Amino acid sequence: MWTVAEILQILLKISLLLFMVGNLLDMGLRLNLQDALGGLRNGRFVVLSGLWGFVLCPALAWLLTQVIPLEPPYAIGMIMLGMTPCAPFLPMMVERARGDMGYAAFMLLASVATVVYMPLAVPVMVKGLTADAWTIAKPLLLFVLMPLAVGMVIKRASAALASKINPFVRKTTGIATLVMLVLCLVVYGRDFISAVGSYAFGTQILFFSVATAAAYGLSFGLPPSQKSVLALGMATRNIGAALAPLFAMPDVDQRAIVMVAIGVPMQTIASLLAAGWFARHAPMGGPGTEPISLPGEDQRE
């Protein structure tokens, strides 16, 4: 017989999967592959986003775990967060920042790269986890890459069908997001309180502050509208991608999962503050001042 705590854990996992799958399916249903890839033909942007997303931010997360006396499970969670750039709500933050929405397709690049990168990087960077590459890759393929690909296939096959089912997907995802946030507080509320004094919150504040500011300030050669997209990609983390391997591994210390869960409010605050600052400093007449839509939703009259 399951206990209440076990039932809540199961419900949390289900809501997390719906949140992750729904957001990526929603993006796929709205993305036109040709237009999305067009936004990624900017070689400088692609190189810098790959450098920040999969070299410098993971290195920053690892460095923080070396200089700050975090307990090992919290350190594992921090490194997992550091390896998963771009939350599914990145396009919404880019819109708030008046950034170039054509480059919000950075999520497409980040999703594909995450699936390839994490199975290779996690066994090297995360000490204490004994999972093999396939154990890490399988949930990423199923819950990150597949829903994005399914959405894009539907969009390519029938734009009308994609437009018809997308409102249902978005509504379901919105409900799942609210349920997930509530269950996070219910399931991990005490653990959040216990994490106070463990350097977990301070470490994440440092990570999000440095990653966001450095990605914006040191992305030389990019216009502000593209810098803001890149920086917001670093300010937001794909929580589902960070948690999926942890849920798939046996005997993971609960505090590693708690550290990733703490990233939900932390990244929300960091990205909202950053988006507000970028919007205030966005040049007038830039991409963000035009009616905003995802690639593939441009008017073609």
Domain assignment present for 74: yes
Domain assignment present for 63: yes
Contact call for residues 219 and 156 (beta carbons, < 8 A): no
Domain assignment present for 287: no
**Residue scoring higher pLDDT (298 or 279):** 279
CATH value at residue 126? 1.20.1530.20
List phi, psi (to 5°) of 95: -60, -45
* Dihedral angle, C-alpha 288, 25, 118, 185, nearest 10 °: 90
Question: Which segment of 46-50, 181-185, 226-230 scores lowest on mean pLDDT?
Answer: 181-185
Phi-psi region of 221 (alpha: psi -120 to 50; beta: other; left: phi over 0): left
Contact call for residues 57 and 117 (beta carbons, < 8 A): no
Domain assignment present for 162: yes
Confidence at 289, pLDDT banded by 50, 70, 90: very low
Domain assignment present for 244: yes
Domain assignment present for 206: yes
* Spatial separation of the C-alpha atoms in residues 57 and 140, rounded to whole Å: 19
Ranges assigned E (strand) in the chain: none
- Quote the number of domains for the chain: 1
> What residues make up the domain containing 274?
4-281
Place of tokens 């929405």: 101
Domain assignment present for 299: no
Contact call for residues 167 and 22 (beta carbons, < 8 A): no
For residue range 80-108, list pLDDT tens digits in order. Answer: 999 999 987 888 899 899 988 777 777 88
Domain assignment present for 293: no
